[in-house]
């Protein structure tokens, strides 16, 4: 991979963009198949590799006597956690083990510290501000944990308008019913509000922060894989 191609790949990853790179196995020639500019070869490659591209799977295709490796690189799975509360600590650890990129969002500096979340990205912005400045794509999960409507609701309002594949919010069934009524008053439909998994997590009878974190992460993975 030459320097120009490498820089382009790194830039795409930094901006959470999909990369479709075709490499001719005989000579190492490379083409980006998701460039806006196309020529006859790249158009032909895209057509033959359409099934791979549709299914987001890398693989080898043949054009005449030439073989091309189609490398499809997707943005990493990401978890945005609103609320640097106690449950957020084991949740961040478990999500990291599952190879999710983690971002903790909480304007309360007492909670959102590097000491409590070592090696985790922490944003001390208001949730609505932080989420508005992030690319929320279909490989992003969002979980709110604060129990504070001023923080959780502002995040949920943005999450419900996004492409996030999972949205979850901590709280009892009673708390969630109150949350739904507030969102209805803010103009969200019942169909939109149903995107929120609340109470968050698979019901495994979890009690401790570690158990609740496992329940949440299990539901996120189940949703993604379903």
Arithmetic mean of pLDDT, 7-11: 86
How does pLDDT run across 140-190, given as a tens digit for each residue? 999 999 999 999 999 999 999 999 999 999 999 999 999 999 999 999 999
Distances in Å between the Cα of 71 and the Cα atoms of 65, 87, 101 are: 19, 37, 21
Q: How far apart, in whole angstroms, are the C-alpha atoms of residue 162 and residue 133?
A: 12
- Contact assessment for residue 81 and residue 88, using Cβ atoms and an 8 Å cutoff: yes
- pLDDT range class, residue 38, cuts 50, 70, 90: low
In this predicted structure, the answer to whether residue 1 has a pLDDT above a threshold of 90 is: no
In this predicted structure, the answer to whether residue 107 has a pLDDT above a threshold of 80 is: yes
pLDDT of residue 11: 87
Comparing 56 with 103, the larger pLDDT belongs to 103
Parallel, antiparallel, or unpaired: how do β-strands 196-197 and 78-82 relate? unpaired
Q: How far apart, in whole angstroms, are the C-alpha atoms of residue 64 and residue 61?
A: 10
In this predicted structure, the answer to whether residue 87 has a pLDDT above a threshold of 70 is: yes
Q: What is the mean pLDDT of the chain?
A: 93
3-state secondary structure 145-185: CCCCHHHHHHHHHHHCCCCCCEEEECCCHHHHHHHHHHHHH
Q: Tell me the CA end-to-end span of the chain in Å, nearest whole number.
A: 35
In this predicted structure, the answer to whether residue 37 has a pLDDT above a threshold of 90 is: no
Q: How far apart, in whole angstroms, are the C-alpha atoms of residue 81 and residue 134?
A: 13
Cβ within 8 Å of residue 98, ≥6 positions away:
77, 217, 221
Arithmetic mean of pLDDT, 125-134: 95
Q: How far apart, in whole angstroms, are the C-alpha atoms of residue 111 and residue 122?
A: 10
Comparing 42 with 197, the larger pLDDT belongs to 197
């Amino acid at each position: 991979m030459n320097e120009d191609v490498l820089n382009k790949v790194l830039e795409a990853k930094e901006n959470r963009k999909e990369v479709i790179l075709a490499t001719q196995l005989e000579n190492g020639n490379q083409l980006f198949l998701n460039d806006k500019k196309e020529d006859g070869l790249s158009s032909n490659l895209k057509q033959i590799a359409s099934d791979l591209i549709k299914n987001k799977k890398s693989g080898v295709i043949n054009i005449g006597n030439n073989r091309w490796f189609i490398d499809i690189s997707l943005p990493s799975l990401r978890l945005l956690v609103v609320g640097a509360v106690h449950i957020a600590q084991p949740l961040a650890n478990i999500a990291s083990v599952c190879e999710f990129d983690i971002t903790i969002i909480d304007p309360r500096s007492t909670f959102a510290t590097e000491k409590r979340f070592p090696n985790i990205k922490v944003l001390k912005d208001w949730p609505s501000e932080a989420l508005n400045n992030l690319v929320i794509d279909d490989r992003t999960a969002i979980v709110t944990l604060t129990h504070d409507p001023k923080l959780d609701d502002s995040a949920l309002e943005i999450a419900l308008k996004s492409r996030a594949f999972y949205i979850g919010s901590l709280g009892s069934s009673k708390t969630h019913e109150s949350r739904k009524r507030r969102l209805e008053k803010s103009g969200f439909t019942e169909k939109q509000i149903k995107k929120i998994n609340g109470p968050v997590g698979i019901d495994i009878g979890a009690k401790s922060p570690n158990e609740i974190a496992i329940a949440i992460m299990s539901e996120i993975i189940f949703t993604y894989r379903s």
